[in-house]
Amino acid sequence: MRNLWSLPSSCLTAVASSSVPRSAIRSQAARTLFSLTKAPTPSPLPPRSTRAFSLTSRLFQHLKATSDEEIMAVNTTDRLAALRSLMKERSVDIYVVPSEDSHASEYIAECDARRTFISGFSGSAGTAVVTLDKAALATDGRYFNQASIQLDENWQLLKTGLQDVPTWQEWTADESAGGKTVGIDPTLISPAVADKLNGDIKKHGGAGLKAVTENLVDLVWGDSRPPRPSEPVFLLGAKYAGKGTTEKLTELRKELDKKKAAAFVVSMLDEIAWLFNLRGNDITYNPVFFSYAIVTKDSATLYVDESKLTDEVKQYLAENDTDIKPYTDLFKDTEVLANAAKTTSESDKPTKYLVSNKASWALKLALGGEKHVDEVRSPIGDAKAIKNETELEGMRKCHIRDGAALIKYFAWLEDQLINKKAELDEVEAADQLEKFRSEQSDFVGLSFDTISSTGPNGAIIHYKPERGACSVIDPNAIYLCDSGAQFYDGTTDVTRTLHFGQPTAAEKKSYTLVLKGNIALDTAVFPKGTSGFALDALARQFLWKYGLDYRHGTGHGVGSFLNVHEGPIGIGTRKAYIDVPLAPGNVLSIEPGYYEDGNYGIRIENLAIVREVKTEHQFGDKPYLGFEHVTMVPYCRKLIDESLLTQEEKDWLNKSNEEIRKNMAGYFDGDQLTTEWLLRETSPF
């Protein structure tokens, strides 16, 4: 899956013209917008999850499907009036509404879509800022056109990344001049961002940033706000987890000792799921559940709605000396910790509590603020990113089963389009892929919404097709499929680009340059301590020689039956990747691409395990590392220009294809169609 964390403002083709007047936008999509903001209620896990619907692309596709009807932006006048009334009651002049939830989740539940509710803008990235007489929405280039359509006349659109356009922080600071107070829900912003914003406000003559403990948008939303999900929580056994909770807690407590800290307050949902070997389904595609945890040197407490826990889970937690408390008790207990820290004798060093650098400002304040809180890169996040042998073997095995489903799908799709002359749209094809995946053992659900894209849609990096309003697959155009699944033994994410007809020379050249970058990174050998930042250029070098590039990261970490995007590692130019070297046991994607706006998109993505490799020498007595790819899906032969490949690259492809054929043994017995497709696509160079 493309790395959303790295996408800059200008990476996508516009779907609708920003020149369309808001008053002339079609009305039918506006009437359905807020029905679209309610995704289907996720089914309980472990049963297989159902496909969720993307708000952004669902609206975009609706716009394209209803081009002859008038659409109007959502009227937010009453909502803004109600919000401003609450602001005045609380002496707040400016109110900030972020996109995030209180756990800094990449994906959020319906009940946390506050920015969408107050602004009408449903894109995944953006911040709303409301003053007593103005309202502004800042978002990046992926969503300029969507925001232009969805925002009504109450809103000013801040196109982040364009020259002379202020960021939302700059706009807020400018508006605060004259002693105005800026308010925000402190659970939705990190301490670092809050501290910088507070400083900027004061530099511009504002009174400062105020923590408003009641979320004012929730008060406006009222009874119509969706309830917080309450899906069942289940145990991930040792067969899949590979390491027990007691062992993980022991390792975490060693980190507390090293940092001379009294406790670690855990707020990231995937970290809690991993630490306690539990999984849930409160957020679509992410097997996590709403919770907090506090781990001290001699206790562990999980804050969760106990009604979600089975007897098996409760027994497991008891066996691992973990107490259970209500989710809502977390802040009450952090205040107890803060008071305990204050009673420490002045002759002693201050009691310190650790929180993740992604934790909320509210959490830091509740624990006593700067004097008693250290914000750190989470030791749980670091440990989770280095998979144990059971998790690594699970990743290998689930990718074989996932590869079998994809190979069967691509053979089926080609047969449908070429031999049977069937007319299939992008969602119908994606449905069939999900069906094939669901037939594999240990399948739970998808790891993200499948990007099934034909022709120019493939150039839209965040494209998601929507049922009844998407393109029919053109057999004479490039087809890009970025998809993944959740299995009990691992998480998959793979992209393949295919052509079912006769590709042009330019398409073959572009594809082969991307493939060469993928091979170069897959075969790289590098000393321990090397970061993903340092490796990024290896994947881009062949495109660069022709003045080409792609505007997204080259790789992201992947969880083990957890989030498909997992920190802190990655490959790309993000500053965070400089600080975290790759280590044996990391699992991450390698996914270079090339996108020609209005024509096609190419991306080739494998998941790979970082492992130690043997080298003839060991300069500086350092071990050397490399990659072991686990994705088992062949590359499109039609799109490869062999004249651009070196013999070493051909040898690599032959070895890879031989490995795929070996691992697929027994999967297609009696399936002549798939067997013939596989043999053709993996024939030697």
| Of the candidate ranges 6-20, 268-282, 302-316, the one whose mean pLDDT is the lowest | 6-20
Check if the beta carbon of residue 625 is closer than 8 Å to that of residue 618. Answer: no
Alpha-carbon separation of residue 267 from 61, 356, 357 (angstroms): 36, 7, 10
Bigger pLDDT: 228 vs 33? 228
CA distance 496 to 494: 7
Q: pLDDT digits over 394-441, tens only? A: 999 999 999 999 999 999 999 999 999 999 999 999 999 999 999 999
The answer to whether the Cα torsion of 606, 612, 617, 621 is positive or negative is positive
pLDDT at position 512: 98
pLDDT at 44: 39
Q: Would you place residue 39 in the very low, low, confident or very high pLDDT band (cuts 50, 70, 90)?
A: very low
Other CB atoms closer than 10 Å to residue 616's CB: what's the count? 5
* Mean per-residue pLDDT over the chain, rounded: 89
Is the pLDDT assigned to residue 145 strictly greater than 90?
Answer: no
pLDDT of residue 346: 54
Whether pLDDT at 6 is above 50: no
| Strand (E) or helix (H) holding 624 | strand 624-629
% the chain with pLDDT above 70 = 89
Instruction: Identify which has the larger pLDDT, 162 or 305.
Output: 305
Residue 586 is encoded by which pair of tokens? 């990391």
**Distance between CA 253 and CA 338 in Å, rounded?**
20
pLDDT digits (tens, 9 = 90+) for 105-122: 988 999 999 999 999 998
The pLDDT of residue 345 is above 70: no
Q: Is the pLDDT of residue 220 over 90?
A: yes
pLDDT above 70 (res 63):
no
What is the DSSP track for 447-481? SS--EEEEGGGGGSTT----TTSSPBP-TTSEEEE
- Residues 210, 213, 218, 222, CA torsion sign: negative
Q: What percent of the chain has pLDDT over 90?
A: 81
User: How high is the pLDDT of residue 555?
Assistant: 97
**Which pLDDT value is given to residue 342?**
79
pLDDT band at residue 456 using 50, 70 and 90 as cut-offs:
very high
Report how far residue 543's alpha carbon sits from residue 594's, in angstroms, rounded to the nearest whole number.
8
- Summarised one tens digit per residue, pLDDT across range 526-538 is 999 999 999 999 9
Q: What is the pLDDT of residues 246-280, one digit of tens each?
A: 999 999 999 999 999 999 999 999 999 999 999 99
Chain-centroid distance, C-alpha 120: 22
Spatial CA neighbour of 188 closest among 99, 282, 119: 99
Confirm if 434 and 446 have CB atoms less than 8 A apart: yes
Q: Are 592 and 554 in contact (CB under 8 A)?
A: yes
pLDDT at 21: 29
User: What confidence category does residue 2 fall into, taking pLDDT thresholds of 50, 70 and 90?
Assistant: low
Residues 6+ apart with CB under 8 A from 48: 438, 443, 444, 445
Give the mean pLDDT of 622-648.
98
Q: What are phi and psi of 459, to 5 degrees?
A: -80, -10
Cα-based angle 402, 403, 408 (whole degrees, multiple of 5): 100
Which of 223-237, 332-346, 358-372 has the least mean pLDDT? 332-346
* Lookup: tokens for 461: 């990096």
